Structure 1
Amino acid sequence: MTGRLLALITAAAVTAVAAVAVLAALGGAASGCLPTPSSGSVRGFDTHQRRNAAIIVQVADQRGLPDRAAVIAVAVAMRESQLHNIGDLGDNNDHDSLGLFQQRPSQGWGTPQQIMNPAYAAGRFYDTLLGVEHWQHLPLTVAAQAVQNSAYPGAYAAHEPDATALVAATIRGPHDGAAAAAGLCGGTGCPSFTPPPDGSGGCAGLDAVFARARSWLTAWPGGRPVPYLSSNAPADLFGGYRRDCSGYLSMALGLPGPGLDTITLAARSTIITPADLHPGDLMIKPAAGGAGHVVLFAGWTGTSRSSYWGYEQSGDGGTHYRQIPYPYFGGYAMTPYRARPATTVTNENQRSHDAASSDPMTQRSGTRAHPM
């Protein structure tokens, strides 16, 4: 173990040099090619670790993958190598494992030279991850284990909070203190967002929003998505919330059950431009009589901003995390919103306006969109 830790320190010293070489493989110059988080953006990670995380995030972005893919990859690299590009450790080596993800040449991950290229290693990780069925819907530790086949599959989960914060900081640039936390949340001021008491920044509230949103993907008996039903009857609620679009979003945002309707969700939010959309924002059509709809925005699928990843509850299968054409399927008119603090508007209206008979997802025709 001592030799392995010493090798980690040595690897950290050479990673910066390797990272500069990697920029050419990514198609850019050393200045401006990769997002470079500041030393104060996420505590506990040195310059070399943050640079390696930036490479992992950049490869995901170039492939048009959602932030969730980068979070999984960074969490795995945290567990496998502490985000250091580890070379051959001799007697301390774990078989022939190398690099950020401890990939093995003998198992077909590539040559030693390829695996020691962080961009190549990240790309190979994503290649395998994308072959895992429904990887976007899986808990991080399950998706990671499907790629890594680790002897300790549960160990990845401990790194998810740090990986989420590090990916967010890498994407959005330097942040510090409580203002940093709001910045990492896209400035949402979302109802469940609370800056960490130590002023260290981070986005624990937004992490919780997405964790709750993901939970309904497998929460129904048999590990299935929670089915759609627009009803306030106590026997029809799930975890105290309506099973329609606005009840689901109320649950994800941490609002009281059985949930607000789309009109009230819009009233307690502020309209923003598409360019201002960040993960945690909302796409809403506020309408009465069941014509409204709401989606939790999870990130653009690529730089063209023609589609995005979103969490929603709809009549065509219940809870979804999927790729959605902007602004919505079939050109359905939806507007970007940013939630204001929970004290802005009282929970005055808890009736549902999202009946399945008029839900846009049940009305549109054509092929369903699925995450890549």
Structure 2
Amino acid sequence: MCTIYAAALLIGGGAGEANAATCTGAITGVGNGASGPGAGGASKKYDGTLQDKNSQVRVPLAPQGRQNLPHWSAAQTRNAATITNVARSRNLAPRAAVIAVATAMQESTLINRNDGHADSVGLFQQRPSQGWGSIAQITDPVYASKKFYDQLVKVSGWQTKPLTRVAATVQRPAEEYEGEYAKWEQSAGSLVADTWGTHAVTSEFTGCETEDGARAGNKASSAVDPVTKLRSQAPRTPAAAIRAAGRAKGMGGWYRLCELFVEQAYGTRAVHASANAHWRAAVAGGYAHPGDNRPPPGALLFYDTGQDAGHVALYLGSDKVASNDIHVDGQISIVSRKDLTEGTWRLRYRGWAEPRFPANPGANRI
């Protein structure tokens, strides 16, 4: 599907505003918290060798209400990684890490604070006076995370209850703040997936029905495109990029060059080394929408391929995408989204990102 620029391919092979509409149902069960990282995806066909199935996990999300998607600094991302890795070391499912990271986002913005309300300190703003530990202990991110998980697993039904209810049960905030954890779920999911493994993907399930009666989730929805303006920072507008992708239909010479294709559709080139590198930048920059199956036209759709490079395609609207290597190696095709997730390649959907590309002059084929 794609390759990494300026690097040899080690494994050969074949062939404006984001939508904030959500509903409020619970997610399906993800295990009792003691069953390891969760089930991997079904067997897929990849262009190369299969990766360790333990890295092919799904991170379940059930976002409620408008989501905050801020930029996270390197230090904040490291703290999220620590919280996530403590969950892994305890054999907890990814859902536990999502709850914990979202809680820390609300309590401390993922900063290991030595001050807070009353005697609250650390990532979770835990209080020595309430038995969480000494100041030295609860400003240690590993210790603080362990203490959070100790209480989390005592919450009945934590795997399936709304995140904000579970977090509030553990943290016991003032009543007016009990719903504040909800807005961090999508961002927490993206950071957890990034730490859990190269091939971990988020998957939204809200227990609700889409307009066409299909269950929400990793499967592409055929619902009407959201009536929202896509936020874009690129030399070309989303409409111009869609027209450029349409002109490229049937064009050859794009074998394993998915990232270059979407960059050139937006009028630039050589910005990211691979689709996965682009996705990680979008997650860190706060312009990724992990697991969201309602992308606006012009959005960039990202997929896990089981390889280091990943895959990205340009969403044209009406459930159609422009992508390379789908029907013919190296050729651009206009296909349904399900051709990527349910066709020959069986890709795993990560989510969509807003196009953010600097002007980078150079030859452009489209």
Q: Give the TM-score of the pair, scaled to structure 2.
A: 0.40
The structure showing larger relative contact order (alpha-carbon pairs under 8 Å, at least 6 residues apart) is 2
Structure with the larger helix share:
1
Q: Give the TM-score of the pair, scaled to structure 1.
A: 0.39
